[in-house]
Structure 1
Amino acid sequence: MSTPETSLVVPAEAELAIARSLSTDLPGVPYAVQGARFWVRMSVTALCWQGDIPQAVEVISRLVDNGVRHGMPTDVPRDQRRLVLSAAVAETGELLIDVSDLNPEFPDFDRAVAGEKGRGLWHVARLGARVIRFLPHEGAGKTVRAVLPPGPVNPYA
């Protein structure tokens, strides 16, 4: 049984001690994926993350694509649709990639991560990321977080 969206709270994992972080806003439109790919390459390099940068790029691509497709309420005008991207390196060396959108709902989140509903989050998990979601402390919408470990990841392990 899944937790109702209205009762989601920020999980303890979302409160990791952050050593360094960067964030940006992007429009909630399909071309945001390209901007996100460029931004994360630059950001993880600037943050000195010791992990697989191409995997981080693929992870953010999937999360931003999902945010654009499913996180933009239809009643929000196109010029007001936005995503907030964050990349942070935890004191543990893990990379936290957050994509926040405007829609607080995410039905069947666990099924999506398991690949039973779409392939985006399943692919993110196959890339070695732990995937969680939570409602922000303030503002509307939700955040989907992918946590990647430092060092190389074998998605087939």
Structure 2
Amino acid sequence: MGTNGSTMLEPLRQGLPPVDAASVSSSASCALPARYEAVRGARQFTSVTLTQWNLSERFDDVALVVSELVTNALRHALPAGPPREQPLDPPVRLHLMRWAGRLVCAVRDPSPDTPAARGSGEDFAAESGRGLFLVESFSDSWGWHPLAGTLHGKVVWALFRLGERPR
């Protein structure tokens, strides 16, 4: 997570969604229940949203990143013990935001813990811990920030540049 692009991403560090309506051309968000089936719902929401924004060709990369971010959030947001419904305050929320030349997907969760990617010497074949490695590989940049005010937890985001794709 380098410093290049940090100015461009500054609004994300202030909380989501950015309030500058002029800079965000489109945004959408959905609350996700604290159940692992929510990952499928997040992918469907992403598919519908990207289709509306004429970005269907980016679905594979974006959906993979969304799946990893939501899975990580649920892993930390799910209470131990039997699942219980929390209809008033779903713990995890997915935001998709589009600017002229970039797309950001961001996932809010109630955990204050810092997201940590595996170190280069660790086992990338292991199921747990490779999510942020995939996020880093498939997005142009990613990061996170703690929530401020009355909201508890954090937001983890990933940015995709739109337009020409290097292949």
Structure 1 residue 144: Cα displacement: 0.5
Could you tell me how far apart the structure 2 residues matched to 1:153 and 1:113 are?
A: 27
Larger radius of gyration: 2
2:129 to 118, 132, 150: 118
Note closer, same or farther for the CA distance 1:23–1:64 as it changes in structure 2 (3 Å cut).
Answer: same
SS at match of 2:69: helix
Could you tell me how far apart the structure 1 residues matched to 2:164 and 2:60 are?
A: 10
SS at match of 2:54: coil
Cα shift readout 1:76-96 (whole Å, capped 9, x = no counterpart)? x732253111101023x2111
Could you tell me how far apart the structure 1 residues matched to 2:51 and 2:130 are?
A: 28
SS at match of 2:40: helix
% of aligned pairs identical? 28
Could you tell me how far apart the structure 2 residues matched to 1:140 and 1:74 are?
A: 18
Structure 2 unaligned segments of length 5 or more: list them.
Answer: 1-8, 13-17, 123-127
Note closer, same or farther for the CA distance 1:112–1:102 as it changes in structure 2 (3 Å cut).
Answer: same
SS at match of 2:36: coil
2:96 to 87, 112, 125: 87
The aligned length equals: 141
TM-score by length of 2: 0.71
Query: Is 1:28 aligned to residue 34 of structure 2?
Result: yes
Check the 8 A contact 2:43/2:66 in 1, yes or no: yes
Amino acid at match of 2:103: L
Query: Is 1:18 aligned to residue 24 of structure 2?
Result: yes
After TM superposition, list the pairs within 5 Å mapping 1:32-47 onto structure 2: 32-47=38-53
Could you tell me how far apart the structure 2 residues matched to 1:135 and 1:129 are?
A: 21
Could you tell me how far apart the structure 2 residues matched to 1:95 and 1:113 are?
A: 25
Larger helix share, 1 or 2: 1
What is the RMSD of the two structures over their aligned residues, measured on CA atoms? Answer: 2.9
TM-score by length of 1: 0.75
Structure 1 residue 19: Cα displacement: 1.3
After TM superposition, list the pairs within 5 Å mapping 1:69-80 onto structure 2: 69-74=75-80, 78-80=84-86
Structure 1 unaligned segments of length 5 or more: list them.
Answer: 1-10
After TM superposition, list the pairs within 5 Å mapping 1:131-150 onto structure 2: 131-138=142-149, 139-150=151-162
Structure 1 residue 44: Cα displacement: 1.6
Could you tell me how far apart the structure 1 residues matched to 2:28 and 2:118 are?
A: 26
Query: Is 1:98 aligned to residue 106 of structure 2?
Result: yes
Check the 8 A contact 1:114/1:122 in 2, yes or no: no
Consecutive aligned runs of 4 or more in structure 1 exceeding 6 Å deviation = none
Structure 1 residue 56: Cα displacement: 0.7
Note closer, same or farther for the CA distance 1:113–1:89 as it changes in structure 2 (3 Å cut).
Answer: farther
